[in-house]
């Protein structure tokens, strides 16, 4: 088609330009790839503005993985701390290495966690577009799908988290792109990095790599070429090398809970670590932490479940079927999305069969999140464009209408990647956090207070437990943390000085942080109640019948500080005053 001449009216020139862009052309990467990268850059800048807008915030889940990194600045901090030791042990080796590298060049972990997601959006856009083009998706459709993927990345709690899961979308796209192009070193490097930061998706990708050797649409049905064999073997070596540090480490916190044990533990049923129904049932489809659709639906009767199945499964099946009738006009085609679907479901099923031993099925189904955009959306794009030609648009609508429509679509795309959900949180009482940070380095704090979710990451002081960091997975960690909760529960509810003295001997704590409501009503705060069974209500009722609790009576003489909704008490003072009151 001829390019618009300099003498054409602006609207006519725009219509000609639009017609060229809408035609099914395979030579416009110079237009749509920079556009994709531009949208990735918009997402990065929007994210940086959002996370640095309010000082002192930190990403919700990053509080766990950053809880021990204060040791890099001061090796004397958090020595022998249970919480810090545990979260260090479960931080993947590559994740630790990336943050360590940033720290070595002067970027603190609390700052780098805000920068990291912004560094990932542009590469995600690049490899998303590349992968789609390798799957023979036309440039315009590849750009549209990339914008959709960026929209998911800036709004879902994945890349923006700054945790190990932030890396899997990029590394999965890199691996799939390398597989589509049969790039041996690219696939092996992606696998090594993926296995080192998010091994569950690396195992899924290993299955995709193995399935890529099956080629039933051509003879022979199994690809045993030297390049394919080199790719499979080197990727397998890279996967093993990346996972080996996890397998070889000696965990002081194992073993993991069994399914039977989880059904008897309150936090698995309705507390912080809820993955089962209140009756102990397991929903492997829709449950937020357990299901393969991770909260996207509410059970078998929810229509959204069937929309998710259709969106995730239709495109991969169609793209695979097109491999059997490949031709110049067959549109996008590739077996990779189908292989990803199959490998994800197999790995998720294996994880469900030995629940908790291989973590949760939802982790292995992470890649399903991308399938509607990598597979179903290109198929839908082909279907629409086969019925709606550019010429029909030009004949049916005026140039001004097309200009307005294009402007609206462009604005929608920009908004889709710039309205960012950071997931960042801020302490409710910064003065309390500052007070804890001012305690001696070896001080230990504890209590049923929400702001302790920000300790030790913002305070650098050992913390008995917090709601966010009390994850029930490995027995050696959670059982100790839960015992600490039981001791603090007894401390704040008892009216008996001997009970207080006995519990304090068991608990190494210097500062006890208590909410005003707990002092006034002898009641554990709502956000912590899910860690305890039904007997908690009975314990609170008994405490209320005997008048003010002992801690409430001793609080005026042992107060270290009074804050918005909380009181910090000197634990050693409580012991002395309780002994004097006996």
Residues 434 and 520 reside in one and the same domain: yes
Give domain status of residue 21, yes or no: yes
Give the integer Cα–Cα distance in Å for 100 and 85: 17
Give domain status of residue 41, yes or no: yes
Q: Which residue has the tokens 């194992």?
A: 254
Residues 576 and 556 reside in one and the same domain: yes
Q: What's the confidence (pLDDT) of residue 54? A: 86
Which positions ≥6 away from 273 have C-beta within 8 Å? 267, 289, 470, 471, 472, 473
59 beta partners? 424
Q: Residue 562, SS3?
A: strand
Chain-centre distance for alpha carbon 214: 32
Sign of CA dihedral 251, 64, 365, 368: negative
Residues 544 and 564 reside in one and the same domain: yes
User: What distances in angstroms separate CA 56 from CA 170, 248, 429, one per listed residue?
Assistant: 28, 37, 11
HEC states along 47-86? HHHHHHCCCCCEECCHHHHCCCHHHHCCCCCCCCCHHHHH
Residues 199 and 102 reside in one and the same domain: no
Residues 159 and 178 reside in one and the same domain: no
Give the integer Cα–Cα distance in Å for 464 and 480: 10
Give domain status of residue 547, yes or no: yes
Q: Residue 357, SS3?
A: strand
Choose one of 243, 274, 304: the last residue of a domain: 243
Burial-class residue 158 by CB neighbours within 10 Å (0-12, 13-18, 19+): buried
b/e for 216-231, b at 16 or more Cβ within 10 A?
A: eeeeeeebeeeebeeb
For the chain, the domain total comes to 3
Question: Phi first, then psi: what are they for 569, rounded to 5°?
Answer: -110, 145
Q: Which residue has the tokens 């590739």?
A: 334
Q: What's the confidence (pLDDT) of residue 391? A: 59
Residues 31 and 136 reside in one and the same domain: yes
Give the integer Cα–Cα distance in Å for 488 and 507: 8
Contact 59, 424 (CB under 8 A): yes
Q: Return the number of other C-beta atoms located less than 10 Å from residue 300's C-beta.
A: 10
Q: What's the confidence (pLDDT) of residue 3? A: 47
b/e for 254-264, b at 16 or more Cβ within 10 A?
A: eebbebeebbe
Q: What's the confidence (pLDDT) of residue 252? A: 85
Contact 285, 297 (CB under 8 A): yes
Give domain status of residue 280, yes or no: no
425 beta partners? 58
Q: Residue 529, SS3?
A: helix
End-to-end, the C-alpha distance of the chain in Å comes to: 97
In which domain, by residue range, is 223 found?
A: 167-243
Give domain status of residue 286, yes or no: no
DSSP state of 7: T
What token pair was written down for 415? 């908004």
Choose one of 243, 261, 286: the last residue of a domain: 243
Give domain status of residue 495, yes or no: yes
Residues 392 and 517 reside in one and the same domain: no
Q: Which residue has the tokens 């009756």?
A: 279
Give the integer Cα–Cα distance in Å for 174 and 357: 28
Question: From its phi and psi, is residue 359 left (phi > 0), alpha (psi between -120 and 50) or beta?
Answer: left
Contact 147, 134 (CB under 8 A): no
pLDDT in tens, 194-236: 999 999 999 999 999 999 999 999 888 999 999 999 999 999 9
Burial-class residue 471 by CB neighbours within 10 Å (0-12, 13-18, 19+): middle
Give domain status of residue 535, yes or no: yes
Give domain status of residue 516, yes or no: yes
Residues 116 and 176 reside in one and the same domain: no
Residues 101 and 221 reside in one and the same domain: no
Cis-peptide into 220, omega within 30 deg: yes
Give the integer Cα–Cα distance in Å for 158 and 146: 16
User: Residue 497 is part of a domain; what is its CATH number?
Assistant: 3.40.50
Choose one of 214, 243, 272: the last residue of a domain: 243
Contact 379, 315 (CB under 8 A): yes
| Per-residue pLDDT of the chain in tens (582 residues, 90 and over written 9) | 444 455 556 656 656 665 665 666 677 888 899 999 999 999 999 999 999 998 888 998 999 999 999 999 999 899 889 999 999 999 999 999 999 999 999 999 999 999 999 999 999 999 999 999 999 998 988 999 999 999 999 989 999 999 999 999 999 999 999 999 999 999 999 999 999 999 999 999 999 999 999 999 988 899 999 999 999 999 999 999 999 998 888 778 989 999 999 999 999 988 777 899 888 999 999 998 899 998 899 989 999 999 999 999 999 999 999 999 866 666 889 999 999 999 999 999 999 999 999 999 999 999 999 999 999 999 988 887 777 665 565 656 565 565 566 667 777 777 777 788 888 899 999 999 999 999 999 999 999 999 999 999 999 999 999 999 999 899 999 999 999 999 999 999 999 899 998 888 888 899 999 999 999 988 999 999 999 988 899 999 988 887 899 999 999 999 999 999 999 999 999 999 888 776
Looking from the CA of 232 toward its CB, the CA atoms found within 13 Å total: 16
User: What distances in angstroms separate CA 120 from CA 37, 113, 131, 146, one per listed residue?
Assistant: 11, 12, 16, 14
Residues 436 and 575 reside in one and the same domain: yes
Residues 404 and 481 reside in one and the same domain: no
Residues 400 and 438 reside in one and the same domain: no
CA R_g for the chain: 28
pTM of the model: 0.92
Give the integer Cα–Cα distance in Å for 564 and 450: 12
User: What distances in angstroms separate CA 107 from CA 47, 423, 571, one per listed residue?
Assistant: 18, 21, 36
């Amino acid at each position: 088609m001829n390019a618009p001449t300099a003498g054409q009216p602006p609207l006519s020139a725009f219509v000609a330009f639009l017609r060229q862009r809408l035609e099914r052309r395979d030579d416009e990467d110079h237009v749509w790839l920079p556009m994709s990268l531009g949208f990735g850059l918009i997402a990065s800048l929007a994210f940086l503005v959002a996370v640095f807008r309010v000082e002192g915030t930190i990403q919700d889940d990053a509080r766990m993985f950053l809880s021990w990194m204060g040791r890099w600045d001061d090796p004397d901090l958090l020595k022998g701390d249970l919480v810090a030791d545990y979260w260090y042990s479960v931080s993947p080796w590559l994740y630790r290495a990336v943050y360590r590298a940033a720290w070595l060049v002067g970027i603190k972990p609390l700052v780098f966690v805000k920068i990291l997601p912004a560094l990932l959006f542009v590469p995600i856009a690049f490899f998303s577009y590349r992968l789609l083009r390798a799957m023979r998706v036309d440039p315009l459709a590849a750009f549209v799908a990339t914008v959709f993927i960026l929209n998911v990345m800036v709004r879902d709690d994945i890349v923006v988290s700054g945790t190990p899961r932030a890396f899997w979308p990029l590394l999965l796209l890199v691996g799939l792109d390398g597989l589509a192009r049969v790039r041996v070193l690219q696939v092996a490097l992606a696998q090594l990095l993926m296995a080192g930061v998010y091994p569950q998706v690396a195992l899924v990708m290993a299955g995709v790599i193995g399935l890529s050797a099956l080629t039933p649409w051509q003879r022979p049905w199994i690809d045993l070429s030297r390049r394919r064999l080199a790719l499979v073997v080197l990727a397998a070596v890279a996967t093993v090398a990346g996972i080996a540090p996890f397998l070889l480490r000696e965990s002081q916190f194992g073993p993991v809970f069994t399914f039977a044990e989880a059904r008897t533990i309150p936090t698995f049923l309705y507390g912080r670590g809820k993955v089962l129904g209140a009756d102990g049932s397991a929903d492997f489809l829709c449950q937020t932490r357990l299901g393969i659709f991770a909260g996207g639906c509410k059970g078998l009767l929810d229509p959204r479940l069937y929309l998710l199945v259709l969106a995730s499964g239709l495109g991969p099946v169609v793209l695979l079927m097109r491999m059997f009738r490949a031709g110049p006009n067959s549109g996008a085609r590739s077996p990779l999305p189908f292989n990803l679907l199959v490998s994800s479901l197999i790995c998720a099923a294996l994880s469900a069969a030995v629940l908790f031993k291989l973590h949760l099925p939802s982790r292995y189904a992470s890649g399903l999140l991308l399938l509607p955009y990598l597979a179903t959306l290109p198929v839908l794009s082909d279907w629409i464009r086969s019925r709606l030609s550019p010429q029909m648009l030009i004949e049916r609508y005026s140039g001004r209408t097309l200009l307005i429509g294009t402007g609206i679509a462009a604005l929608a795309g920009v908004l889709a990647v710039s309205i960012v959900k950071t997931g960042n949180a801020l302490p409710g009482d910064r003065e309390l956090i500052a007070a804890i940070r001012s305690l001696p380095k070896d001080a230990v704090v504890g209590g049923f207070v929400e702001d302790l979710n920000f300790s030790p990451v913002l305070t650098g002081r050992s913390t008995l437990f917090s709601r966010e960091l009390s994850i029930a997975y490995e027995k050696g960690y959670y059982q100790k943390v839960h015992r600490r909760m039981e001791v603090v529960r007894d401390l704040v509810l008892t009216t008996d000085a001997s009970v207080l003295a006995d519990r304090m001997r068991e608990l190494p704590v210097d500062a006890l942080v208590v909410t005003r409501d707990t002092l006034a009503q002898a009641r554990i705060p709502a956000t912590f109640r899910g860690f305890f069974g039904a007997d908690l209500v009975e314990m609170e009722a008994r405490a209320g019948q005997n008048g003010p609790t002992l801690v409430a009576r001793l609080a005026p003489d042992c107060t270290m500080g009074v804050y918005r909704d909380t009181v910090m008490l000197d634990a050693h003072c409580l012991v002395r005053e309780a002994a004097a009151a006996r």
